[in-house]
Chain A
Amino acid sequence: MIKILFFAALREQLGSEGTLLPSENISSVEQVIDALIVKNPHWQVAFKSSLLCAVNQEMVNKSHSVNTGDEVAFFPPVTGG
């Protein structure tokens, strides 16, 4: 399984803190997004906005690889400080 997390405005927009995805046929962040949208078609709009992504708590781009057991997080550009 792959653990998916959502934060801040994205979490509120999706109405979800996260989910678990079966890791079959998923090897990249892009494929994680595709699988999430297949499962929840109404999430498509939210994933079209400018989002950042982290795999195992490291910021990565969408072509980054994803393996079973990974933690994949999606969130809006950060605004701390």
Chain B
Amino acid sequence: MYNQEKLMVKISIQEADFNLSEEVNLLEKLNNEDGAVVTFSGRVRNVNLDKSVSGLFLEHYPGMTEKSLEKIIEQAKQQWTIGRVTIIHRIGQLLVGDQIVFVGVTSKHRKEAFAACEFIMDYLKVEAPFWKKELSDGEESWLDAKQSDKDKAKNWQS
């Protein structure tokens, strides 16, 4: 649920899967001032860097993760007039096709919700302390951070 006092933000780090329509309902419930709802969901791909992938293990830094996501939402709220924000990120063992991440933003009109949703996702990628270990052909390896993700986040500063 959204805490009205705390800027209508929901952050959840969880092992369990999430339901897209339930999350959209939560963003819309008793929220008739916002006409736009933009959501992003990320899933485990079957191929990464030309290697076939069977699954992922996701680790995070409890405490810091929540703080860093709160900070990213604060930064978005400073740039755009937005209503509710939901961030869900799964941890633990995930298989190909599983949902990993959900970002939902509401605003009066679509432009701000689109921008804020993309901004939150771009910053989550480079600032939130999550790490992916990839399972491929029975072998496990930690993924390296991508320069393209760093560049995307930097683009918002220009």
The interface of chain A, by Cβ under 8 A from chain B, is: 5, 7-9, 12, 54, 57-59, 73, 75-81
Contacts and interface: CB of A to CB of B under 8 A. Distances in A.
Contacts of A59: 68, 127
A12 B146 CA distance: 21
Given A76-B142, A80-B101, A80-B124, A57 B130 contact: no
Contact of B131 (A54, A58, A73, A80): A80
Contacts of A57: 61, 63-64, 67-68
B84 interface: no
Contacts of B115: none
A8 B128 CA distance: 13
Nearest to A59: B127
Would you list the 10 A-B pairs with minimal beta carbon distance, nearest first? Answer: A80-B130, A77-B145, A8-B131, A57-B64, A9-B142, A81-B125, A79-B143, A79-B132, A57-B67, A81-B124
Given A7-B131, A8-B131, A9-B142, A80 B125 contact: yes
B26 to A, nearest CB: 21
Interface in B104-131: 121, 124-131
Given A7-B59, A79-B145, A81-B124, A54 B42 contact: no
A30 to B, nearest CB: 20
B68 A7 contact: no
Contacts of A9: 131, 142
